[in-house]
Every structure is written in C-alpha cells, then in structure tokens.
Structure 1
Amino acid sequence: MTKRSAKWLAVILVATTASVTPSRAEYSDLQAQGYKTGKLTRGASGSLGWYVSNSEKKFFCRMRGIYAYIGKTGLVIFTSSGRPIPLNRKNYMDNPLIPQLSDLRAGKLNSRDVGYCHPAK
C-alpha cells in the first residue's frame, strides 16, 4: 500500500466512524445527562418501556424485568408480548429487588428495571 492510498483509507475511516450515531444507550447514562423519563407505555414495536427525552433527543428504553408487585399482596408477571398475568404473591418468596407496578407505571425506575435504550423514531 502506498502512502497516498493509506492516507485516503484513513480519511474514509474517520469520516465513516464520525458520522455514526450511537444505536443504543444505557439508562443510567441518559439519566445522568438530565433526560426525563415518561410513563410506562408501548413502543413502536409493541414492547413495554419508557420514553426518555431531553429537548433534543428521544430514546425508547425497554422494560427488563418481568415481575412487579401490586400493593402488599399482589404480584404480576409480564409475558413477552407485555400482557400482565396476575399471580398469588403468597406462593412466592418476597424479593426486595422486584419493583412496585405503580412505580414502573409512573416512571420511577432503577437502572436494573430498564434494558437498553434505542433512539425513538
């Protein structure tokens, strides 16, 4: 490879990598940058999650967890399509890491409840 072709290859490489926008982001990073979290909703794909946005950009963050508590006695599990199925909480061990459904609906999240965030259309 000659010097001239190496320079052109370097220019092309820099130009293509500089113009690429990130295809996904971490919820904790977006939260640290001041992004606001909306209420639990369905995205364009039909999956459950939250829209996270600032004045310029908008991301959709999918829900990672499949369990949520309802009050003091209820438990719900979500199917892959997002349909909630109620369960009897007495039959399952209490786990302090499982969030309340009311918190998920209101957008009061922990990073462990959120999957990757993709740019919204």
Structure 2
Amino acid sequence: MKPTDMTNLPLFNYLRRYWLLIAVFSGFAIMALNDRVFALVGTFAYAPALVTLAALCALLLRNVFNAETSDADVDNGLYTDAWKALSPIERVRLTFWQWIAYFLGACLIVAAIAK
C-alpha cells in the first residue's frame, strides 16, 4: 500500500460500504439518548441501538479480518469463480456460519458496552 493511498484501508472500505447502517445506528442512538423517548418506552429504547451496534461490529470484524483474504479474491475475481463452483447448500452453510460467528463476537462486544 502506498503511503498516500489510505482509501484501501479496511476502515475506509467499511465506512464506504456500510454508511447507511451507520446512519441508522446513529439515529437509533440519538433516539435512545432522548429523555422523552426513554420515559415513554423505558430501557427498550436501547434495544434497536444495541442490535444495530452488534450488526455494525460484526460487519467491522468481517471487513477487517477478510480485507486481505476473501475480499482481495473478490476484487480480482478468484473468489467469485470458487464461490460459483459450490453447491447452493454449501453457500448457505458457509454464509450462515460466518455470519453467526461474527454476530456472536459482536454481541460479546455490545454486552460489554451495555454493561
């Protein structure tokens, strides 16, 4: 990576890919911190913010850890060919377990934040 080319950093790619989800989380967080909303619905005001935060953490973990592996292969087409060679059920299994692993990791992070 060139010193001047910071747009290829995993964090910048993450912000570029998931800006809408970040905006949704920000909206939920602002609502959860509003005293009127909190008085109306109680601690349930935090639930949407924590769920979107868990999803954002899972996506961040996925984006950082896969930036030089599967994402690099996706960018040059190698991963796409191998992915198409899998059966549909294998694709579903791989996607499901990868999402579960990242989501559970994110839930641990959010549980620590919420505590």
Fold match (TM-score > 0.5): no
Q: If each structure's helix is expressed as a fraction of its own residues, which one has the higher value? A: 2
What TM-score, normalized by structure 1, do the two folds share? 0.24
Q: Which has the larger radius of gyration?
A: 1
What TM-score, normalized by structure 2, do the two folds share? 0.25
